[in-house]
Structure 1
């Protein structure tokens, strides 16, 4: 990293969104341990149940443009941005309320994009920056009843993939880290939409039970944080990293098998036929 030993934060400033729990908290703690000055975000910093030593919390509501701008201004020059905050959403495609889908895309995609836009000029001018989008393996392995969430993570990955070559000549790297099933307790916080008397109820509930079980025995968020650190510290970060859910093997199958076979594989893992 630009004249410093690999793994040495060297006083660089990192901003981690959604740092009050789960993957965001694990990433923030790992960055503190590596010598970074770490800023974490929360909708309400005063309500963070277990504030991390060495992390300064800033308020951020990704649904509010003014809040995003205020967060960027309060953060000042940032060398590392980890876009982690977002919402997990499930429901039959036919029954998803459009207001909920719009909110999801604002939180998972547009808010992250806008925050990144605000922080990129400083990175470019200083000739160094790292932006990590925390996506999901579901962007590569779509799952029934998760269409809105899958689409939002695929969109976030698309922004990073397309913008990468624009920013590389300026020393700024954009990377997507795709976790599989992670044990963060997110199942209790997921927003669910299922209409009364829904014809999709049986399939949806089967998927949801399997999803919750997979997440309960999933990878620890600290493993995801270690992967995020790889992306931040690599002299030339890879475009994509995946972690958890047997990522090396399943991505190999993704390359070898036709799309229809991959879809069947994912469905069966979640009890669907």
Structure 2
């Protein structure tokens, strides 16, 4: 028997559980508009952006105000998200596990790139690999879980050097970077920064491209990218790493591997509550 639609928008019949309650979905459009707006909105503007009449929007807003989902300024009559939405948002953020969420998305990224993938977080000694997904088609790489990546000769380290900011680990990162630059000067290396000017150039390029990148720097014959993932506060939560043979790994900034890495990292950052670009 076909499901029947009530005037209230509630669906009845055998498909009720699958179909859900349409009125809830319609009303959510108002909350979604407020969430994306740069500030409070007048009723007419809010209704227009939610694609409904002002009268219809007002009925939903009355209920949302009772629930604390929406608040109205008595002086300007403009609507804004209410305290309940803040509590819900904070509760959601407190339950988010960035590494777990990233691990669940790595297989799909692996299918897109065809490369070995890893996740890195800031550990006691620097950027540390905490998850590994090896591609059956990729050349074996002599890196494993728990390995601490150098700051300047690895894509992972360059990503953390550029995006760690002033958060946890920043002081330690500066010490590690200075130590590695001194070692690079002693060895006469030309493939990594050896002074402040070269370091600034590397950091600037990494930030502009949104990826850390190396080719034949840390390991001969190996190239890689590392994409930053940010949390709701804009802090670097982890790095998503891709590695492969320099002979086949596309290191172009606009290539398919780089593009897939950026898309995955940006979506994960957004799902963690980051509102940046």
Q: TM-score, normalised by structure 2?
A: 0.24
Q: Which has the larger radius of gyration?
A: 2
Pick 1 or 2: higher relative contact order, CA cutoff 8 A, min separation 6: 1
